[in-house]
Amino acid sequence: MQDLRWPTYALRGVTLERAEPHERGGLRVIDSEGRSYLDAVNGVGCAPLGHAHPRWIAAMHAQMQRLSAAANSFTSGPQQALARRLAERFPVRDARVFLGSSGTEATEAAIKLAVRATGRSIIVAFERAFHGRSLGALSLTANTAYRHPYVRCIGESEPADPFAVAQVLRLPWGDLAAARAAFAAHGPRIAGVFVEPVQGEAGVFPATREFLVGLHGLCREHGALLGADEIQCGSGRVGAWSAWSRIVGDDPALYPDILWLAKALGGGMPIGVCLAAGELAKAMGKGTHGTTFGGNPLACAAALATFDIIESEGLLAAAAAQLPTLQALAVAQPHARVHEVRGLGAMIGVQVGRPGEQIGNAIGDRLMHDHGILATVCSGHTIRLLLPYRAGEPELREFWRALGRALEVSA
């Protein structure tokens, strides 16, 4: 059958149809030929409960029978309940919540807020960052191939984008000296520093506590805002509700000013949210931002059910155990071509090549075609695992064994 969609994705030749059922959410998906796969792509981390969790489905069904859509000039019970839950669980002081439909939409809200609340024009971002693909979010994203020809960064020769809301100053990841130099040169113009506590698209690189706390201090010193992009690493993925809390801790004096989430938050339904400190949120008055589907009752009910299931089924602890489990397997049964197993919780990168080596795609294809494992490849050399949170030692052992065989074939 002819595919009539725009050719915006590199298709992998598999048509997924359904998940294998399980009373706590399916870990496997089945294609149109009837073949089963362990799903470590997980909708790019969007199905933390696995697929078709019965309690999640029941919550969605109940909400469908009541109210599925409502314009944002009104409020709904699920909206209010979700906003309260987010404010309780995530490290933003006196948080106020913007409810959107996607991570990119949440990033756009964060950019607008930083610029409006400070009256400044520069956003600091970092090498290897990925923040989304709309024009504003794309300006923060490091990959030049994604940006060109839409947006321009300071010091680069790409065509200027007349619609960009801010200039972007890109710094080396993890380099506090470079951040200090940037503030020394541009401090009065820097609206905010936007950082992923764990860089996902780059190949799963967690920030150090020293780096994040240092950025926090620089922002406080110079009157800039600190934004934490937890689109991929938040909502329990790293074994805590917030990657910021997992890395930095829960000291309110070290909270970021803005934090935004998507992916796992809805359990499989599209949703993105941006939390900001209450006094900052006042800068976003009527008409400054908007969304049609954002905060719809159905998506909010899905997110609330996801919260409840993660907490009642102990899935934060299960997610936290994934990385140490795989690292223990790597020590016990080393593969010569694996350079590093890194990450945090259920956000894992297995580097199978050195920077510049592009062997990961071939390994990913072998894992899929020969061993029935779906995984994504980052930066050409890192296999990324974003398994559902309840996945454990059996699934990780299955992956590790398959990876060894795939590496042997490619030697």
Report yes or no on 256 lying in a domain.
yes
DSSP code for 387 = -
**What mean pLDDT, rounded, does the chain reach?**
91
CATH number at residue 82: 3.40.640.10
- Among 265, 284, 312, which residue terminates a domain? 312
Q: Are residues 215 and 255 in the same domain?
A: yes
Distance CA 91, CA 213 (A): 14
Q: Are residues 138 and 25 in the same domain?
A: no
- The total of other beta-carbon atoms located within 10 Å of residue 239's CB is 22
Q: Are residues 160 and 251 in the same domain?
A: yes
Report yes or no on 47 lying in a domain.
yes
Nearest to 125 by CA among 112, 138, 113: 138
In 167-261, which ranges are continuous DSSP H helix? 176-186, 209-222, 243-248
Q: Are residues 78 and 154 in the same domain?
A: yes
Predicted TM-score of the model (pTM): 0.92
Q: Are residues 126 and 147 in the same domain?
A: yes
Q: Convert 279-338 into a string of H (helix), E (strand) and C (coil).
A: HHHCCCCCCCCCCCCCCCHHHHHHHHHHHHHHHHCCHHHHHHHHHHHHHHHHHHCCCCCC
Q: Which two tokens stand for residue 59?
A: 């919550």
Would you place residue 164 in the very low, low, confident or very high pLDDT band (cuts 50, 70, 90)?
Answer: very low
Report yes or no on 364 lying in a domain.
yes
What average pLDDT does range 22-33 have in this prediction? 96
Report yes or no on 337 lying in a domain.
yes
Q: Are residues 305 and 217 in the same domain?
A: yes
Report yes or no on 185 lying in a domain.
yes
Q: Are residues 320 and 306 in the same domain?
A: no
Would you place residue 163 in the very low, low, confident or very high pLDDT band (cuts 50, 70, 90)?
Answer: very low
Q: Which two tokens stand for residue 260?
A: 């935004």
What average pLDDT does range 81-95 have in this prediction? 98
Q: Are residues 32 and 85 in the same domain?
A: no
Q: Are residues 346 and 305 in the same domain?
A: no
Q: Is residue 194 a contact partner of residue 259, using CB atoms and an 8 Å limit?
A: no
By residue count, the chain amounts to 411
DSSP letters of 393-411?
Answer: HHHHHHHHHHHHHHHHHH-
Q: Are residues 322 and 302 in the same domain?
A: no
Furthest-apart CA atoms within the chain: distance in Å: 60
DSSP code for 223 = T
Q: Is residue 209 a contact partner of residue 247, using CB atoms and an 8 Å limit?
A: yes
Give residue-wise pLDDT tens across range 292-321. Answer: 999 999 999 999 999 999 999 999 999 999
Report yes or no on 35 lying in a domain.
yes
Nearest to 214 by CA among 168, 181, 167, 259: 181
Q: Which of helix, strand or coil describes residue 252?
A: helix
Report yes or no on 208 lying in a domain.
yes
Interior/surface letters 158-190, b for 16+ CB within 10 angstroms, e for the rest: eeebeebbbbbbbbebbebebbeebbeebbebb
- Among 277, 312, 347, which residue terminates a domain? 312
Report yes or no on 198 lying in a domain.
yes
Instruction: Give yes or no for residue 265 having a pLDDT over 80.
Output: yes
Distance CA 252, CA 38 (A): 39
Q: Cis check for the bond before 355: say yes or no (omega within 30 of 0).
A: no
Q: Are residues 93 and 176 in the same domain?
A: yes
- Among 312, 344, 370, which residue terminates a domain? 312
Would you place residue 389 in the very low, low, confident or very high pLDDT band (cuts 50, 70, 90)?
Answer: very high
Q: Is residue 167 a contact partner of residue 121, using CB atoms and an 8 Å limit?
A: yes
pLDDT, position 154: 58
Q: How far apart are the first and last CA of the chain?
A: 36
Instruction: Give yes or no for residue 151 having a pLDDT over 80.
Output: no
CA 408 to chain centroid, in Å, comes to: 32
Segment (H or E) for 106: helix 103-118
Q: Which domain holds residue 34?
A: 16-52+314-410
- How many domains does the structure of the chain reveal? 2
CATH number at residue 34: 3.90.1150.10
Q: Are residues 263 and 355 in the same domain?
A: no
Nearest to 131 by CA among 152, 109, 162: 109
